[in-house]
Structure 1
Amino acid sequence: MTLSRSLIPDLGRLQAFESAARHGSVTQAGRELNLTQSTVSRQIRELEAQLGITLFERVRQRVVLSEAGRKFLPDARKLLEQGEAAMLRAMAGSKAALLRLATLPTFGSRWLVPRLPGFLQAHRGVALDIASRSAPFDLEDQGFDAAIHYGQPIWANATCRYICQEVIVPVASPALVEAEPPRTPDDLTRLPLLHLATRPKAWVDWFRQAGVETQAAFQGHRFDQFTMVIQAAHAGLGVALLPLYLIEQELAAARLRVVVDLPLPTENGYHFVMPNSKLDHPVANELYHWIVSQVGA
Structure 2
Amino acid sequence: MRRKIPSTAALIAFESAARHQSFTKAAQELSLTQGAVCRQIAALEAFLNVELFRRSRRGVLLTEAGQSYARRVAGQLDAVERDTLAVMGQQGAMSIELAVVPTFGTQWLLPRLKDFQRLHPEITVNLTNRTRPFLFADTAFDAAVYFGDGDWSGTRAHLLMGENPMPVCSPALLNGQAQLSAEQIAQLPLLQQTTRPYAWRQWFSAQGLNTPRDMAGPRYELFSMLAQAAIHEMGVALIPPFLIRRELAEGRLVVALDQALTDDDRAYYLIVPERKSESAALNAFRDWLVTEAAQYRQQPA
Count of aligned pairs between the two proteins: 293
- Tell me the equivalent position of 1:242: 239
Q: Is the 8 A contact 1:120 1:126 kept in 2?
A: yes
Deviation at 1:224, TM superposition (A): 2.9
Unaligned runs of 5+ in 1: none
Q: Is the 8 A contact 2:11 2:44 kept in 1?
A: yes
Superimposed CA distance per residue, residues 42-63 of structure 1 (whole angstroms, 9 cap, x where no aligned partner): 22234345x3523435432444
- Tell me the equivalent position of 1:284: 282
Superimposed CA distance per residue, residues 132-176 of structure 1 (whole angstroms, 9 cap, x where no aligned partner): 222233434432221212224344654443333321111223343
Q: Is the 8 A contact 2:53 2:66 kept in 1?
A: no
- Tell me the equivalent position of 1:106: 103
SS at match of 2:144: strand
Which residues in structure 2 correspond to 1:243-282 (within 5 Å)? 243-266=240-263, 267-282=265-280
Deviation at 1:255, TM superposition (A): 4.0
Deviation at 1:66, TM superposition (A): 5.4
Aligned equivalents of 2:112, 2:164: Cα separation in 1: 20
Q: Is the 8 A contact 1:167 1:264 kept in 2?
A: yes
Matched, 1:212 2:220: no
Q: Is the 8 A contact 1:185 1:210 kept in 2?
A: yes
SS at match of 2:284: helix
Matched, 1:190 2:187: yes
Structure 2 counterpart of 1:128, from 125, 130, 139? 125
What is the identity, as a one-letter code, of the residue corresponding to 1:293?
A: T
What is the identity, as a one-letter code, of the residue corresponding to 1:162?
A: L
Aligned equivalents of 1:235, 1:264: Cα separation in 2: 23
SS at match of 1:129: strand
Aligned equivalents of 1:37, 1:57: Cα separation in 2: 15
TM-score (norm 1): 0.84
Q: Is the 8 A contact 1:194 1:222 kept in 2?
A: yes
What is the identity, as a one-letter code, of the residue corresponding to 2:199?
A: A
- Tell me the equivalent position of 2:23: 26
The 3 A distance-change label for structure 1 pair 30 and 175 is same
Aligned equivalents of 1:23, 1:262: Cα separation in 2: 60
Deviation at 1:108, TM superposition (A): 0.9
- Tell me the equivalent position of 2:142: 145
TM-score (norm 2): 0.83
The 3 A distance-change label for structure 1 pair 8 and 194 is same
The 3 A distance-change label for structure 1 pair 57 and 244 is closer
Aligned equivalents of 1:276, 1:56: Cα separation in 2: 45
Deviation at 1:36, TM superposition (A): 1.7
What is the identity, as a one-letter code, of the residue corresponding to 1:295?
A: A
Q: Is the 8 A contact 1:92 1:127 kept in 2?
A: no
Aligned equivalents of 1:257, 1:248: Cα separation in 2: 10
Q: Which moved more, 1:255-264 or 1:62-71?
A: 62-71
Aligned equivalents of 2:291, 2:41: Cα separation in 1: 55
Moved over 6 A (4+): none
Aligned equivalents of 1:57, 1:115: Cα separation in 2: 51
